[in-house]
Amino acid sequence: MDRAGITTDQEGVLEGVLIVQKEAGWTSHDVVAKVRSLLRGSKVGHAGTLDPSATGVLPILVGRATRIAEYLINWDKEYRAVLRLGETTDTQDATGQVLTKVDPCEVPEDVLQAVITRFRGIQQQLPPMYSAVKIGGQPLYKAARAGRTVEREERSIAIHQLEIVAVHGRDVILRIVCSKGTYIRTLCVDIGQVLGVGGHLLALERRRVGPLSIEQAMTIDQVAGHLTMGTLRERFISLDQLLFQLPAVVVNAEQAQRVLHGSPIFPVGVGQLASSPAAVPVRLKNEAGQLLAIGTHDTGRAGSIRIRKVLSLLSH
C-alpha cells in the first residue's frame, strides 16, 4: 500500500475505485469499456447502473476492487431529479413517446408538498417495463420493446429523504435520498398519478453513492488527463477505505498466512467481536494495517471466521 493508501499489484497496475461522472448518452458499460481501454486491459467493472440519459456518480471498480461490488451496491443513493408534470411517456422518462398530455398548472403548491410527503419512508414500487429486471430469465426491457407487458411484483424500497428544491412551471426539481433498487422514473410517475395530472422523469443526476460524491467525480476526459500526467493513482480510493463499514479484525503473522490461503481462523484478538451477531462480514488486516481479506465471523461456531474473499496483493 503506498502513501496515498492505493494498492497496486506487483507490476504497479492501479487498483481501487474511481468516481466517474457519467455523461448523458453513455451507458454504464460504455464507461467501463473506456476505462478498461485507458488502463490497457485491467479488470474493470462498475457498482450501480445508470440509464444512458442519466448523469452523475458511477463508481468504477478496477482490479481486485471488482471483487467487492456486492458490498457497495447496498449503499444508499442521492439524486437530483426533474419531474415534468402533465405528461406521461411509455418509458416513464423523456426518452419515450408521449402518451398523455394535460395542463398541470392547477396543481397548488400545498397539494404538491402534501403528495410529496406521502412518498417518504418505506414504499412498494412496481419495477418499470423499461428496466433490466429479469423475469423468467429475460430483461423486462426486451419484452417492452416487443410491445409486451409482463406481470411483475412490487418491491419494497425506502425513500429516506424527498424534498422539493424548486418549481419552474410544470417542472419540479426534487432531491431524493433512497435505498438501492429505487426507480426514480417510477417515483415521478407515481407522484404525477396521485396528483391526477400524470408525470415523467425529465432529467436525472446521481449526486452520491454511499460516501462517494459528485464533488469527487471525474469525467472520462479528466481520467485520461490524470493518466497522462501520472496523477491518476491519487484519485483512486482503496478497498480498505471503501469497506469502512465492516468491522476490522487484526490478525497475527501466523493467522495472516492462513487467511491468505483461504483457511478459516478462530477467535482473533480478545473482545474484538464479542458483541457481534452471527455471520457478520469483517475486514481482516495484518498487524501492519494491510487489508488481507473479507471474512464472515460466526459466533455459533466457536467464533470462527471463514474467509470469503482474499484481497491482499500477497496472495497468489
Return the active site residues: 51
**Integer Cα distance of 295 and 291 in angstroms:** 11
Look at strands 304-310 and 291-298 and give their pairing.
Answer: antiparallel
DSSP 8-state code for residue 214:
G
The amino acid sitting at 58 is L
Residues 6+ away with beta carbon under 8 Å from 141:
129, 130, 131, 132
Which H or E element spans position 62? strand 55-62
Angle between helices 28-38 and 220-229 (to 10 degrees): 10
Write out the three cell numbers for 155: 418491491
List Cα–Cα distances, 275 to 98, 283, 293, in angstroms.
56, 16, 21
**Integer Cα distance of 85 and 103 in angstroms:** 8
Write out the three cell numbers for 92: 416513464
Residues 6+ away with beta carbon under 8 Å from 10:
313
Characterise 186 by phi-psi region: left (phi > 0), alpha (psi -120 to 50), beta (else). alpha
Please write down the long-range contacts of 302-305, taking CB distance under 8 Å and 24 or more positions apart. Answer: 302/266, 302/267, 303/266, 303/267, 303/273, 304/264, 304/265, 304/266, 305/249, 305/264, 305/265, 305/266, 305/268
